[in-house]
Structure 1
């Protein structure tokens, strides 16, 4: 499984690096992507503002770090306290935007549940884009015994003062809001972090 995931990550990175020119022509996707990219190199503290099932992230400090940016891809590590296992990867694909969740074990190897996410299916808005779970993610969730997650839709929202990350599906909603007006010192390197070449 880890070999397949490593190959997937390599192919994804190679495809992005092979053509560094902007791929997306839909204005709302470009505006959204560039609004996040404008914060490249900065980190921001977040807080849970919606969570209908309880304390998803505990009392941990939540920090997003727009760590690396190219014309076609953004790497945004999401730190939960000392847990540096998560990186959001936002990619221009030529037909829209793709969101993937890169999850690693502490030794840098791929977690058994990683690279799940989805692709835009419409124009969205300058400030808001939605990513319904793709076929790979649905199969991963089925294999992992969490079939409810096959209905996942991830949303990202970017405004002048805040960034929101939201997961929604029937009977499940969690949202973290990040304050873009008060950058903080970026955390350390995420576990198994793969820089953009």
Structure 2
């Protein structure tokens, strides 16, 4: 009886060890390289400017634009995008095991979720070490349809990173918006975005 109990205890302990082991970080070289190219700037902030906006001048045109590679782990990058005093936006890039996900975390100044938050997309192919595309995912399409902006269901977000420049780009039929950030001149990091803490 004692022998049987000991064997059971050992097996349970071994099972617990297996269950406690974190899932392996599954990724492919181009996704890893893209992720790491951004991660290399962790802790730094950079100024940007609108270089394409075929909808005409907007609140982005005159505001000070800042991206801050604020938090970095092996699986996730948090990159607040400040538009003047508006600290409502954070880009979240995540390794999912089947590619990379881009989400837009939108908050109110009190930290609560905006009605339009966590929209974004997921890579559909290998992409490149310097460029990835994120076509709108199903959650985003349903959110846009519910909000009465079905044209946004065709959104694809793109990010490019080169030694001297990071680009955030939104494209869909008839619409293009692009912001370029100068990676050669880091600036002072802004305060935490809304809903986050330093």
Match of 2:153 in 1: 150
Match of 1:29 in 2: 31
Q: Does 1:163 align with 2:166?
A: yes
Structure 2: segments with no counterpart, 5+ residues:
1-20
CA RMSD, 1 decimal: 1.4
- TM-score normalized by structure 2? 0.87
Higher relative contact order (CA 8 A, sep 6+): 1
Match of 2:4 in 1: none
In our comparison, the structure showing a higher alpha carbon Rg is: 2
Match of 2:56 in 1: 54
- TM-score normalized by structure 1? 0.87
Deviations 1:47-85 (A, max 9, x none): 111110112313100000000000000000000000000
Match of 1:189 in 2: 192
Contact 2:131–2:161 (CA under 8 A) maintained in structure 1: yes
Within-5 A mapping of 1:81-160: 81-160=84-163
Match of 1:11 in 2: none
Q: Does 1:40 align with 2:68?
A: no
Contact 1:20–1:70 (CA under 8 A) maintained in structure 2: no
Aligned residues, how many?
177
